[in-house]
Structure 1
């Protein structure tokens, strides 16, 4: 049983690493910065893979009532905002910086639990929240590759993530499973992003992008990586659901933290990032904050 859990955890880390590195490469190196089409294509692939998995009996998708779908609709809207803003932010920011800002979503969740649900907050969690806020707040002033547009979209992303998790936790038990929620997210994302791509004129720019890359004989890698990214996104979602079903919240948090550390570390070696002592200090402070959050989750406080 322990070996099986470790295998699931390692699979999750591998998918997490592949997802972010591939995403960063397509957005930053290949300069494919068309979020409506990029994310729309990924969610389409994810939805099709999930549907096929359901038909093959590998995943269970229950028939949701209209009221359940309508209740989950605000969360699906936040999901679209989360992936769209995240894509825009990641195209401008280094992965360690993006993940440090992403972690501030936990501050929003903790604040909601403290203010609206009147939950008791442990000293460890309070310290983690303060460290996460301090790290994210100091980063813009110490980031030698500071990009205001990237930070702007990162803030929108973290607010969407925080609100999404709050809505997810507020769902009534046994209403929608994690797979059901993700299936609805995929369907809504494909529809909304497909409609959004035409008014914004992104389809026109993508055609020009394809023509330019075709002239350089580089179209095939772009399409291949885009499709691979869709597969990685699906497998990351699937492994996350499996991780949550097999492990306690504290163990899940530990594996997620481990995956983030590996991803951030390797990204520094693979992508250009200027590290100063102040930047490293902010990143380490954010890491310490998340480590304390994992500790508080494992202790159940």
Structure 2
């Protein structure tokens, strides 16, 4: 799986960050399968798209109630389910990954902390924002990663990629404007207290989304550095990320979240309790599905095809918010989805052209002389 695609698509689904490396993952050790199953590209593509949508929808379902505030507990359950699932698969001989090593765990632990920050801010943003707006704003992370790559890894982008960045920013502005206009028009206008509360909720979501973009970019860049040192593969990162996250998430949930009986009743109302618990468990399993189906998609097709699938997949994910939840369907909101979708396609095409040896344009921040501190930071990342 190419570095470019992994950075482009990592933010689309809530669970995809748990187990993705940045080098093309080798085919997992699998039981023999029929030729028709492993050679047809349609099945793995549909499986990858379906698992991505499923992860986003199930998390939004759990977080859609504004009374839900046990986010650390949700993430802990997902990590426990994921570890149990991949351990069962390893015991059955379906997949393989390295055994636990304390020295490797110590080196990987900072990455797990970054993952926790990224996923937690992601759940908070998804709690306050609709799926289409969440998906559109996640594209901004690509820009931060691109600048980080240029500053610290000596990367570069094409003019076509820069154009896609502009479209990403434009789609985010349209999405935010559409949300605010919908709140004002449907909740009594500027002077209404209900409209003010709704806009305050949206503003909180935008703040969490901004924090998530920064956390996500830091996690991706940090993990790229660490993977080069540890030579972790796809299921290795999934195993260590989830296993090391469990004690931290559990402690955060016990000490930072409200475990009173009244709050538990608000988070798990009687009429939805079983459905919420099943959704939490299922979202943990979805992270395994995403990791496996993404590797399967690359094996059966190619990194280029996978890149295009990831770009096209943003559209059904955004549309799922319109179908399954009460996301506003207006001309501005649909326009924002369309522009965001086009920006993903343009970015994927830019990466295809760049990998083919097309002309490169250095990002604007690198045209000035590099400071000593920046040069030192770049050298430290390369070491």
What is the TM-score of this pair, normalised by structure 1? 0.89
Q: Kindly indicate whether the alpha-carbon contact (under 8 Å) linking 1:86 and 1:154 is maintained by their aligned counterparts in 2.
A: yes
Partner of 1:256: 310
Q: Does 1:190 align with 2:243?
A: no
Q: Out of 35, 38, 44, which is 2:80 matched to?
A: 44
Cα deviation for residue 242 of structure 1 reads 3.2
Once the two structures are superposed, the pairs formed by residues 97-108 of structure 1 within 5 Å of their partners are: 97-108=133-144
Structure 1: gaps (5+ residues): none
Residue 35 (1) aligns with residue 71 (2): yes
Aligned residue in 1 for 2:28: none
Greater Cα offset, 136-145 or 122-131? 136-145
| CA deviation after TM superposition for structure 1 residue 176, in Å | 0.9
1:46 and 1:230 in contact (8 A); partners too: yes
Moved over 6 A (4+): none
1:64 Cα shift? Answer: 5.6
Does structure 1 residue 159 correspond to structure 2 residue 191?
A: no
After superposition, residues 55-204 of structure 1 pair within 5 angstroms as 55-63=91-99, 65-143=101-179, 144-145=182-183, 146=199, 147-170=202-225, 171-172=227-228, 175-204=231-260
- 1:37-90 CA-to-partner distances (Å, cap 9, x unmatched) read 111111110111011111111121113654433332222112111211111111
1:277 equivalenced with 2:313 (yes/no)? no
RMSD: 2.4
Cα distance in structure 2, aligned partners of 1:33 and 1:239: 31
1:233 aligned to 2:287? yes
Provide, for residues 89-141 of structure 1, a one-character-per-residue CA deviation record: whole Å limited to 9, x for no partner: 11111111001111111111111222333323211111111221232244333
Q: What is the alpha-carbon distance in structure 2 between the residues aligned to residue 108 and residue 245 of structure 1?
A: 29
- Residue 191 of structure 2 is matched in structure 1 by none
Kept in 2, the 8 Å contact 1:68–1:175? The answer is no
Task: Select between 74-83 and 191-200 the one with higher mean Cα deviation.
Answer: 74-83
* 1:297 and 2:347 are equivalent in the alignment: no
Q: TM-score, normalised by structure 2?
A: 0.71
Residue 172 of structure 1 aligns to a residue in which SS? helix
Corresponding residue number in structure 2 for 1:207: 264
Looking at structure 1, the residues matched to 281 and 66 of structure 2 have their Cα atoms a distance apart, in angstroms, of 14
**Max Rg structure:** 2
Give the 3 Å change call, closer, same or farther, for CA 40–17 of structure 1 in structure 2: same
- Assess, with a 3 A threshold, how the Cα gap between structure 1 residues 178 and 260 changes in structure 2: closer, same or farther: same
Higher normalized helix content (fraction of residues) = 1
